[in-house]
Amino acid sequence: MSLLAERVQNNYGKSLEEMTDLELYQALLEYIKEKANDYPLNNSKKKLYYVSAEFLIGKLLSNNLLNLGLYDEVESELQSIGRSVAEVEAAENEPSLGNGGLGRLAACFLDSIATLGINGDGVGINYHFGLFKQLLVYREQHTVPDAWLGENSWLKKSEKRFEIPFNNFTINSVLYDLDIFGYNNTKRNRLRLFDIESLNSDLIEYGTINFDKTNIMENLTLFLYPDDSDHNGQLLRIFQQYFMVSNAAQLIIDEAIERGSNIHDLADFAVIQINDTHPALIIPELIRLLTQQHHIGMDEAVEIVKNTIAFTNHTILSEALEKWPMGDLERVNPDIAHIIRDLDGRVKQAHPNQPGAFVIDNNGRAHMANMSIHYGFSVNGVAQLHTDILKDSELSEFEALYPGRINNKTNGITFRRWIMNANKALSSLFDEKLGEEWRVNHDLTELEKYADDKDFQEALATIKAHDKRKLKDHLLHRQATVINENSIIDVQIKRIHEYKRQQMLALYIVHKYFDIKKGNKPKTPITILFGGKAAPAYIIAQDIIHFIMVMSEIIARDPEVSPYLQVVMVENYNVTAAEYLIPAADVSEQISLASKEASGTGNMKFMLNGALTIATLDGANVEIADLVGEDNIYLFGKKADEIVQLYETNGYNAYEYYDDPALRSLVDFIISDEAKALGNHERLYRLHNDIVHKDYFMALIDLKEFIETKERMYADYEDQDLWMNKVVKNIAKAGYFSSDRTITDYNRDIWHLEADYEVNIEKK
Ligand code: 26V
């Protein structure tokens, strides 16, 4: 009897056919958890700790099966009873332990670190409720708590416990581990998520805003990003961060000692990559532990920590650069506040005339980024343009102080999840043309020779059509929306934020609506899909969702337009939704205001799956454009240096653009009778007013060029030979964006760990 049937018979006393999808899921979960014992932990002397407030891991069943080499066997067994892994995986809850790109990047990195045989764990918090679940009701976003934990999670409770010292009390932590298997690797790593046993989940009854924010003993690990609209909420976030890093620091020191460190040589045993500034308090916490528990002098402790910490910056938006009031830090842990004062004193003594580089500013706020740059050995940006902006403007003072410390590590994506799993048909086509080496080295360049090969183009088109039907089914089940599987699928999926300019695409939709009403009917119908969550405190972002949904309905109700244009807001956008949307897409929207998107990673996923990109020269779009050449990407808009200058000189005036009648009619449609008949007037007027009088992220500056470029792109779609030629050239260049490459770069330049990937490549 086969792998699954036998177990199911023994453990459940049933045949496979008699099992529900949920039971089959449970059986596979148990099987993989047991199987993990056959995979020893990586154990090289030096170990990487990737500390992050977010890990947006997505569902794990199919990914684990793939990485363990079990997928095909299980799939064929399930097929024999008329089921599939995909159906069974529908029973898995997707953990939403992240907000967006930063959390998803951490998840891709864990996959690559394990695949490359690097000894490295993720460390974070086991939030009981991840980022809220988004409901779309009456064209508005509503947020409800997202409970994801249950007996069917991948977590394993460990024996590890630490005491976490807060100001007037101590909390005992408990560690849960989740196994991370590399692709075709024989060892495993772990994601280590800390929790508390004193948590009171009943607090959720008071909602995500009105729960008792002061009861740290009971609320600490309840939510990812708890509401911080009041002071107690802000304090709670610092309590969470300190909890995360105190656990991480204690774990790192314990494990280093187990591997033979005498603590003075900690940097030979551990390297700590901090994912943005959320884990920055690990710097003073390590110093506290080294000085108080290991009796190392302050100067030496500072040196040890400096040699252990590397910091990744993921944004230049000031709202995300954390600055904690010293008074708040005192209330969380006075020793930590004291150490930060000491660290600040050292900076002020060395560089008294550089207030921009101080750890504590004139208002008594501690700058987490500044602290991380002084007291770490590496600072990296996440795409070349982003790193250049850090060096030349945002962090130029630090570049002068520490030449060479700021370095670039262009982001990447794991090919296991984003092509081998999400697009099996396309992966098989690559196998057919390239052999299976691409699955290991991710080199797709040889495909370029098929750019004009009719059979290859046809094979690609057939796969795209199949992926569109899959998306159609998914949306039907997900939210009872029917899309046209024969339309151009045009997708913008990412957090809703003004800098990402979903509002600009919404204004394009107004243009297209007018144009179709005038009689200019697109040859191929167009479906524009948005997905993304708006932070609950970010009102304009919610207004943008509202306006998109109003447009969606105006169009759907208009029989002159609806056969040619459809607009869909995908509810509760998450990793699972992305796995359907990306393979089906023809058009990838990467339209941020230049200089604002640090990298983007969705852009890479779309390119790999055969979509063409419409983009500003921002983040990693610049590198995509360099690789494929200007003829194979649809670029528009102002360049980063022009935008940086406009901000410096206050040179942008939205009203000047609004004064142009062509643009004015589009913007004014937001408050037209048609829109107001369906929409919430307060939301529509607020959005309109914001765009006309403020438009901080300059949606209007590029709107005209955006419209022209979109029209040119849709026209090109009608020439399928030309379009497919570009698609092939894009896919052929996507190998660079494998996160295996990114991790290899981190390891070569920053971590310096042993890796067994050469062996690994040979093995395959
Ligand atoms: C900031 C905040 C501030 C308020 C509370 C919630 C919250 C959550 C996260 C952040 C930082 C967000 C930074 C971020 O996600 N950056 C993204 O990182 C991606 C991976 O490097 C990159 O591709 C995206 O361009 C960048 O926006």
Output phi, psi for 45, to 5 deg.
Answer: -55, -50
Question: What DSSP string describes 337-377?
Answer: HHHHHHHHHHHHHH-TT-GGG-SB-TTSEEEHHHHHHHTSS
- Specify the 3-state DSSP secondary structure of 491: strand
Q: What is the pLDDT of residue 756?
A: 77
Q: Nearest CA to 405 among 387, 418, 422?
A: 387
- 105 ligand 1 Cβ < 6 A: yes
Output phi, psi for 329, to 5 deg.
Answer: -60, -40
Type and span of the H or E element at 664: helix 661-668
Q: Supply the residue whose CA is at minimum distance from atom 23 of ligand 1.
A: 600
Q: Probe ligand 1: pick from 599, 739, 742, max atoms within 8 Å of CB?
A: 599
Q: Supply the residue whose CA is at minimum distance from atom 1 of ligand 1.
A: 320
Ligand 1 centroid – CA 458 distance (Å): 39
* Residues 309/376, Cβ–Cβ less than 8 Å: yes
Q: Supply the residue whose CA is at minimum distance from atom 10 of ligand 1.
A: 320
How far is the CA of 443 from the CAs of 70, 113, 410, 430, 446, in angstroms?
24, 18, 17, 10, 8
Tokens of 129: 């409720």
Q: What is the pLDDT of residue 3?
A: 78
Active site residues: 314, 494-495, 500, 601, 605
Ligand 1 centroid – CA 11 distance (Å): 44
Q: Supply the residue whose CA is at minimum distance from atom 24 of ligand 1.
A: 600
The span from the CA of 365 to the CA of 319, in Å, is 14
**pTM exceeds cut of 0.95:** yes
Mean pLDDT by 10 residues, the chain (764 residues): 82 93 95 95 97 98 97 95 96 94 98 98 97 96 92 95 97 98 96 96 88 95 93 97 98 98 98 98 98 98 98 91 97 98 98 97 98 98 98 95 98 98 98 97 98 98 98 98 98 98 98 98 98 96 98 98 98 98 99 98 98 98 98 98 96 98 98 98 98 98 98 98 98 98 98 74 42
Q: Probe ligand 1: pick from 52, 102, 597, max atoms within 8 Å of CB?
A: 102
Q: What is the pLDDT of residue 208?
A: 85
Tokens of 650: 């206050």
Atom number in ligand 1 closest to CA 103: 15
- 332 ligand 1 Cβ < 6 A: no
- Specify the 3-state DSSP secondary structure of 601: coil
Residue type (1 letter), 313: N
Find where tokens 């090969």 sit: 453
- Specify the 3-state DSSP secondary structure of 51: strand
- 316 ligand 1 Cβ < 6 A: no
Ligand 1 centroid – CA 131 distance (Å): 14
Ligand 1 centroid – CA 276 distance (Å): 8
Q: Supply the residue whose CA is at minimum distance from atom 16 of ligand 1.
A: 314
- 314 ligand 1 Cβ < 6 A: yes
Q: Nearest CA to 528 among 504, 560, 495, 557?
A: 504
Ligand 1 centroid – CA 222 distance (Å): 21
In the sheet with 634-635, reading across from the earlier edge strand, the strands are 565-570, 526-531, 488-493, 587-590, 612-615, 634-635
- 702 ligand 1 Cβ < 6 A: no
Q: What is the pLDDT of residue 757?
A: 61
Give the 3-state secondary structure of 249-312.
HHHHHHHHHHCCCCCCCHHHHEEEEEECCCCCCHHHHHHHHHHHHCCCCHHHHHHHHHCCEEEE
Atom number in ligand 1 closest to CA 319: 3
Q: Probe ligand 1: pick from 99, 143, 316, 498, max atoms within 8 Å of CB?
A: 99
- Which residues fall within 8 angstroms of residue 525, CB to CB, at 6 or more apart? 484, 486, 487, 488, 563, 564, 565, 566
The span from the CA of 713 to the CA of 522, in Å, is 12
- Specify the 3-state DSSP secondary structure of 103: helix
Q: Nearest CA to 668 among 695, 696, 694, 687?
A: 687
Ligand 1 centroid – CA 101 distance (Å): 6
Q: What is the pLDDT of residue 122?
A: 98
Ligand 1 centroid – CA 495 distance (Å): 9
- 410 ligand 1 Cβ < 6 A: no
Ligand 1 centroid – CA 493 distance (Å): 15
Q: What is the pLDDT of residue 259?
A: 97
Name the burial class of residue 636, with classes exposed (0-12), middle (13-18) and buried (19+) by CB atoms within 10 angstroms of its CB.
buried
Atom number in ligand 1 closest to CA 411: 21
Strands 188-196 and 120-125: parallel
